[in-house]
Amino acid sequence: MFCTLIITSQEKYLIFKPLLVLEENIMKNVLLIVLMLTVCSCYGQRRAYKNMTEKDGKIGIGTNAPDEMLTVKGTIHTQEVKVDLEGAVAPDYVFEAYYDGTSTSRPEYTMMSLKELSVYLKKYGHLPGIPAAATLQEEGMELKQMNLILLEKIEELTLYTLEQQKQIDLLKKNLEQSRTQQ
């Protein structure tokens, strides 16, 4: 006993119609996504940043003539800037020279006395090791170097303050002794 199933072309269409509609919708969605990605990609490639330039491997923001790897003419807003010392000497030599008499990391360093500092300030109008305002205006400053110089000055100020406190304590002691002797 053999059974024969005869399906007409109309019935085939009815059986496969849900599958065809499903495939058609998927294909439409895929095509729509591909089209959107292509349009966005093309638009992004054509629309360059108007204030950014690249010249000889150097990037400029706000300038057409970058002179360093990154040159920014304008304000930079950031949460943090990390600067590598790369061979620069941190100013621990100030304390080392003060307490040990000399510094191994910077043997040529000597801290001025307050009297010498006063003469220097009167003559030059700025702290030793710090460029004059006119020089800074003309040449700018390197943040790493300036931060190290400022740290040196803070360490020197700390030592001047400690010396003054020793003198104050000695004067107080002498004053107390002279009062008790009277």
Burial class from Cβ neighbours inside 10 Å (0-12, 13-18, 19+) for residue 172 reads: exposed
Which tokens in the block code for residue 43? 């638009």
pTM, two decimal places: 0.64
Note the helical H segments in the chain.
9-46, 93-100, 114-124, 133-139, 143-181
pLDDT digits 0-9 by tens, 126-137: 999 999 999 999
Domain boundaries, given as residue ranges, for the chain: 7-47, 48-74, 78-176
pLDDT tens digits, 10-60: 554 444 455 455 566 677 777 777 777 776 666 555 546 778 888 899 999
